[in-house]
């Protein structure tokens, strides 16, 4: 029972992170039908920027509290990520908007490699260890241990996602986004500037990725130029699981995937009698992805749409 | 001969001369670049291996239009298969097997090539069967996931049964032995002594040429036309009576089989395999070769593969001295610069030459940009 609660909490933490990242994929996909392969690397850029900012501040003002440092790191990371994402959109995706589907996917892979290599040149090849900034005393909860940072991730993600739902469903900008996702040309006729809406979508996605990146770096105490790849892939899986293009779907999919992964990794040893261990954690996401795509390609909350040839 | 040079279809003499000239060039190539050192011949041998890989991937991506980001998994399957069949690893770890085969496990190359092709094809079908219903970009992600799963398994299958020896990889793999001569040893022909790496180059060249011939024939076959029909329009192809599922599966299986053979050769050439050689980056590099050269155009893909395979060697010998001369120190390591240039090349090529450096000349054979909406 203790392991169960513990794994559920771990799953929720992981799931919140996946949800935040998955939103970036799903919003872009909803409007452009494009898998933004470089999204995970935007997250990596955010995390590394924040870490650099934290190191600089820590050297200048050693007495600043940890949460303020984290906040400053996040504040620095968001504009950088937004700028990077907007540049990518402008240079690599916008010219290919009417090209065959393969073309933007290949440029996205290229952009991802370029970002990783640039990050490697700036921050080096090695793992950067991030200092513990939030109090690490464990809190006992139903027999499981939770740290402040994990609790903060769950709560903050929930608040951010609620804010995003409000933005999309209640504001004029949100309505423009939904209209563009529905049909960009008609939205254009109704006075929406599609290029502006698309840019805003990329910017929001990048800001969410930046926040998720800082959270990942802070909880796992490590940052690396390759750190965006796995979370990016998993978050994409989460977006597909929930129904790609569907915003609540991405949130549900992310949480579900986090739970599946952490419960799977927690129990696979027992279930298989020790043959397979928790290092197979990464396999679960892919199995889920394959299963969803085969059994219900539109995802849990997605609506069935006709194939576009 | 005319099949190599379709532009001289009406002039067999010219095609014959061109073929012989090309053959002479390819046979002489290691002696020319060998002047610069054996590392260059090695790069040339790898270029031939990459030609095989790129042509295999070209069947899937270029002909059938299915984006496969996990292609390197088939290469890994071939490589590990040869590593297990021709190294002391299995007999060392399984006593029963050692008792069964007192001389160790050494299988000849003529058994391994078809076996590697068949096993990789089987994996291609296993992967393809469930996912081929998917649309292009989903397919890309699922194949990417498949590639990662294979790598995770290779990394972790050292317990409870030590099948792959985990991250350490498998060592002491037998070299290729042809007609009683091990390619790991130099061959004395009397007038010239060929070092081991030259012999491997010729073997890989032979296999690459074989691959080219198979690919050209496939392209002009009923199956090849079916692939291209599917690439242009899945629904229309189905309406024309093509069994799209089986034809796509064949593309996966055939593409994979080339990868499997190339993998077995890689493992014999290196004498060592580890999961590290089969990362996503490798899949992307092979894809870059196909895209850069000209999606679906065999000569273009060959040129792309040779360019990108030789490029690191060129970079190693130019980038470092150049930077030392300009800045007095090495600012960007050759390896990092290579990845940066690969990434930039993929973006720039897609933006400005979306059909590659050497696209197919025929009209209507490649997709025109389609309006979406």
The predicted-structure confidence for B24-59, as pLDDT tens digits, reads as follows 888 877 778 777 777 888 888 899 999 999 999 999
pLDDT value of position A306:
45
Domain presence at residue B212: yes
Q: Do the Cβ atoms of A282 and B370 come within 8 Å?
A: no
> CA-to-CA distance for A239 and A257, rounded, in angstroms?
10
**Predicted ipTM of the assembly:** 0.83
B204-259, pLDDT tens digit by residue?
Answer: 999 999 999 999 999 889 999 999 998 888 889 989 998 888 999 999 999 999 99
Which residue range is the domain that position B249 belongs to?
A: 39-278
Residue of B336, B343, B367 lying closest to A110 (CB–CB): B343
Q: Do the Cβ atoms of A110 and B354 come within 8 Å?
A: no
Q: How close is the nearest chain B Cα to the Cα of A76, in Å? A: 25
Q: How close is the nearest chain A Cα to the Cα of B245, in Å? A: 14
Domain presence at residue B326: no
Domain presence at residue B137: yes
Domain presence at residue B11: no
Residue of B336, B371, B372 lying closest to A121 (CB–CB): B336
Q: Do the Cβ atoms of B370 and A100 come within 8 Å?
A: yes
Q: Do the Cβ atoms of B351 and A95 come within 8 Å?
A: yes
> CA-to-CA distance for B87 and B268, rounded, in angstroms?
10
Rounded mean pLDDT of chain A?
Answer: 86
Positive or negative, the Cα torsion across B116, B119, B122, B126?
negative
SS3 B201: helix
Q: Do the Cβ atoms of A282 and B350 come within 8 Å?
A: no
Q: Do the Cβ atoms of A290 and B145 come within 8 Å?
A: yes
Chain B interface mutation, best of A106, A265, A279, A288, highest count of B Cβ atoms under 10 Å? A106
Half-sphere exposure of B319 (CA within 13 A, CB side): 17
Domain presence at residue B128: yes
SS3 B242: coil
Contacts of B144 in chain A (CB under 8 A): 233
Q: A43 with A213: CB under 8 angstroms?
A: yes
pLDDT value of position A7:
86
Kindly provide the b/e burial profile for residues A177-211, where b requires at least 16 CB atoms within 10 angstroms of the residue's own CB.
Answer: bbbbbeebeebeeeebebeebbbbbbbbbbbbbbb
Q: Which of A27-36, A99-108, B176-185, B231-240 has the lowest mean pLDDT?
A: B176-185
DSSP string spanning B159-197? SSS-SS-GGG-B--PPPPEETTEETTS-EE-SS-EE-HH
Taking chain B, what is the end-to-end CA distance rounded to the nearest angstrom?
46
> CA-to-CA distance for A5 and B225, rounded, in angstroms?
57
Domain presence at residue B187: yes
Q: How confident is the model at residue B3 (pLDDT cuts 50, 70, 90)?
A: low
**Which residue has better confidence, B136 or A99?**
A99
Q: Do the Cβ atoms of A106 and B287 come within 8 Å?
A: yes
Q: What are phi and psi of B69, to 5 degrees?
A: -100, 5
Q: Do the Cβ atoms of B152 and A280 come within 8 Å?
A: yes
Q: Which of B99, B52, B97, B28 is nearest to B254 (CA)?
A: B52
Does residue B303 carry a pLDDT above 70? yes
Q: Do the Cβ atoms of B284 and A109 come within 8 Å?
A: yes
Q: Which of B139, B112, B114, B136 is nearest to B127 (CA)?
A: B139
Q: How confident is the model at residue B7 (pLDDT cuts 50, 70, 90)?
A: low
Residue reference for tokens 């990048």:
A206
Beta bridge partners of A145: A140
pLDDT value of position B88:
77
Chain B interface mutation, best of A102, A273, A289, A298, highest count of B Cβ atoms under 10 Å? A102
Is 0.80 topped by the overall pTM? yes
A248-294, pLDDT tens digit by residue?
Answer: 889 999 999 999 988 888 787 777 766 666 677 778 888 888 788 77
How many structural domains does chain B have? Answer: 1
Contacts of A285 in chain B (CB under 8 A): 145
Contacts of B369 in chain A (CB under 8 A): 98-100
Domain presence at residue B140: yes
SS3 A222: strand
pLDDT value of position B104:
64
pLDDT value of position A199:
93
Q: How many CB pairs under 8 A join A and B?
A: 141
Q: How close is the nearest chain A Cα to the Cα of B183, in Å? A: 37
Beta bridge partners of B181: B178
| Token digits of residue B292 | 């850069």
Q: Do the Cβ atoms of B156 and A279 come within 8 Å?
A: yes
> CA-to-CA distance for B43 and B204, rounded, in angstroms?
12
Positive or negative, the Cα torsion across A215, A220, A223, A228?
negative
């Amino acid at each position: 029972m203790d392991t169960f609660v513990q794994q559920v909490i771990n799953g929720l933490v992981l799931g919140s992170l996946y949800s935040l990242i998955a939103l970036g994929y799903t919003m872009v996909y909803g409007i452009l039908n494009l898998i933004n392969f470089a999204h995970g690397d935007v997250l990596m850029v955010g995390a590394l920027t924040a870490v650099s900012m934290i190191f600089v501040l820590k050297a200048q003002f050693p007495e600043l509290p940890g949460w303020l440092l984290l906040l400053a790191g996040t504040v620095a990371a968001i504009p950088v990520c937004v700028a990077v994402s907007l540049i990518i959109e402008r240079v690599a995706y916008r010219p290919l908007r009417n090209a065959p589907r393969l073309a933007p996917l290949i440029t996205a892979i290229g952009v991802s490699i370029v970002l990783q290599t640039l990050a490697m040149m700036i921050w080096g090849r090695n793992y950067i260890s991030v200092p513990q900034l939030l109090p690490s005393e464990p809190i006992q909860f139903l027999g499981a241990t939770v740290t402040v940072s994990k609790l903060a991730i769950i709560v903050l993600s929930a608040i951010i996602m609620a804010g995003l739902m409000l933005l999309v469903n209640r504001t004029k900008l949100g309505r423009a986004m939904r209209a563009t996702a529905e049909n960009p040309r008609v939205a254009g006729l109704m006075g929406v500037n599609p290029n502006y809406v698309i840019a805003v979508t990329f910017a929001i996605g990048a800001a969410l990725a930046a926040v998720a990146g800082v959270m990942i770096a802070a909880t796992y105490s490590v940052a690396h130029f390759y750190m965006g790849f796995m979370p990016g892939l998993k978050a994409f899986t989460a977006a597909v699981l929930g129904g790609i293009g569907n915003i609540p779907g991405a949130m549900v999919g992310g949480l579900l995937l986090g739970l599946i992964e952490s419960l799977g990794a927690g129990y696979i040893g027992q279930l298989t009698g020790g043959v397979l261990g928790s290092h197979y954690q990464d396999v679960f996401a892919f199995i889920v992805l394959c299963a969803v795509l085969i059994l219900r390609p539109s995802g849990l909350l997605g609506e069935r749409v006709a194939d576009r040839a | 001969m005319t099949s190599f040079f379709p532009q001289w279809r009406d002039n067999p003499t010219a095609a014959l001369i061109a073929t012989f000239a090309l053959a002479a060039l390819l046979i002489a190539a290691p002696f020319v670049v060998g002047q610069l050192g054996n590392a260059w011949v090695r790069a040339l041998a790898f270029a031939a291996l990459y030609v095989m890989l790129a042509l295999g991937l070209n069947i899937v991506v270029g002909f059938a239009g299915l984006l496969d980001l996990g292609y390197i998994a088939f290469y890994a399957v071939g490589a590990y298969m040869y590593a297990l069949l021709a190294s002391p690893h299995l007999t060392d770890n399984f006593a029963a097997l050692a008792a069964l085969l007192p001389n160790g496990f050494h299988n000849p190359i003529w058994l391994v090539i078809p076996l590697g092709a068949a096993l990789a094809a089987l994996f291609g079908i296993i992967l393809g069967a469930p996912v081929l219903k998917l649309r292009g970009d989903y397919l890309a992600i699922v194949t990417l996931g498949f590639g990662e799963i294979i790598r995770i398994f290779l990394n972790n299958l050292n317990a409870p049964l030590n099948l792959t020896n985990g991250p350490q990889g498998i060592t002491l793999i037998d070299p290729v032995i042809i007609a009683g001569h091990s390619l790991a040893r130099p061959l004395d022909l009397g007038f010239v002594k060929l070092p081991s790496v030259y012999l491997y180059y010729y073997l890989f060249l032979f296999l690459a040429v074989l691959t080219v011939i198979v690919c050209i024939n496939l392209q002009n076959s009923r199956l090849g036309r079916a692939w291209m029909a599917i690439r242009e329009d899945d629904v229309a192809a189905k309406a024309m009576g093509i069994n799209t599922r089986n034809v796509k599966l064949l593309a996966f299986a055939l593409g994979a089989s080339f990868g499997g053979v190339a993998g077995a050769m890689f493992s014999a050439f290196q004498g060592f395999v580890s999961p590290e050689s089969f990362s996503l980056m490798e899949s992307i590099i092979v894809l870059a070769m196909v895209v850069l050269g000209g999606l679906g155009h065999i000569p273009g893909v060959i040129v792309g593969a040779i360019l990108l395979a030789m490029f690191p060697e060129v970079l190693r010998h130019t980038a470092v001295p150049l930077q030392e001369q300009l800045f007095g120190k090495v600012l960007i390591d050759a390896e990092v610069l290579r990845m940066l240039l690969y990434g930039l090349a993929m973006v720039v090529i897609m933006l400005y030459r979306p059909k590659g450096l050497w696209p197919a000349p025929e009209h209507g054979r490649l997709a025109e940009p389609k309006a979406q909406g």
